[in-house]
Structure 1
């Protein structure tokens, strides 16, 4: 499965080559690959590459959200071109139940682009994942740019509205059986059992 982020959060076309996201099957999980322009704005976060970094959304980042549309449980994966990452498990809109989970994340930069590869174990995905959205952020201050795979439709934008990546109503269907095979069943996860009891 391949996706291109071609619009800002409020449905304007992006002014650069789009961010690309590819999802492919892997043993015990999914491989997510990112190819994106490298803006180097803001500068690198002050965290060790390869490690989780809280607040990564304030830097240059590509984010993928995997949602169960019925329960509003979702996995948020944030990848930075400088090597830091952040994984959040949320049970309800903006309700974090686990964070800073570990990832096997590799990143490389060639000229004005960066490429990331990350293994996402099935244990991180909410049960019955069926919706998806992806986002990209770069720039500083008033030049901060927020982009979305599935943006807010123009006719639904209100005056003074701000970008909000947790608008779950704009996520669209993701059929994991098309990726994994018709007979595949998503494995259960003890992590989400924990979230159920703590939400």
Structure 2
């Protein structure tokens, strides 16, 4: 399953090779592979790579969101070319239930491209995941660029509107059975069962 981020958050074509996200079955979860241009802008976070980094959205990142459209429970995955990552479980728009969960994540880079591979356990995906969106961010200051797989349609942009990746109404249908097979059932998640008890 492959997705190409070919537009800015507000629907204009990007002027570079698109970020590519590939999803594939893995042991007890999904493999998420990223191929993206490498800008090194902003520079790497100051913390050690290979660990969660809160606030990673302020750096150069590729993000994927897996949503249950009925409950608005969703998984946010943020991956950085410098080896940092951030996992968030949310219930309702921007309402974080858990964050900085561990992730198996590997990165390789050249001067102009980076490749990342993350293993997403089924326990991180909300029950009945059925919608998806993905985003990419790079650049600093006025040159900051926000890109989206499924952007806000240009005719719906409001004056002085800013990019907001939590506009769940613009996510599109996502069927894991197309990847896993028609008879597959999404495994139950202890994470989300515990989250439901604490909501």
TM-score range, shorter chain: over 0.9
1:69 paired with 2:44, answer: no
What is the CA deviation profile of residues 142-162 of structure 1, one whole-angstrom value per residue up to 9, with x for unaligned ones? 111000000000100000000
1:97 paired with 2:97, answer: yes
Q: How big is the alpha-carbon RMSD for the aligned residues of Structure 1 and Structure 2?
A: 0.6
| Equivalences for residues 49-64 of structure 1 within 5 A | 49-64=49-64
Q: CA deviation at 1:193?
A: 1.4
The answer for unaligned runs of 5 or more in structure 1 is none
* Contact in 2 for aligned 1:91/1:196 (Cα 8 Å): no
1:20 paired with 2:20, answer: yes
1:128 paired with 2:128, answer: yes
1:148 paired with 2:148, answer: yes
Q: CA deviation at 1:110?
A: 2.0
Report how many aligned residue pairs link the two structures.
199
CA distance in 1, matches of 2:5, 2:50: 24
The answer for unaligned runs of 5 or more in structure 2 is none
2:137 corresponds to which residue? 137
What is the CA deviation profile of residues 111-158 of structure 1, one whole-angstrom value per residue up to 9, with x for unaligned ones? 300000000000000000000000000001111100000000010000
Q: CA deviation at 1:197?
A: 2.3
* Contact in 2 for aligned 1:132/1:172 (Cα 8 Å): yes
Give 3-state SS (helix, strand or coil) of 2:86's partner. Answer: strand
Q: CA deviation at 1:61?
A: 0.2
* Contact in 2 for aligned 1:52/1:100 (Cα 8 Å): yes
Q: TM-score, structure 2 length as denominator?
A: 0.99
CA distance in 2, matches of 1:9, 1:101: 27
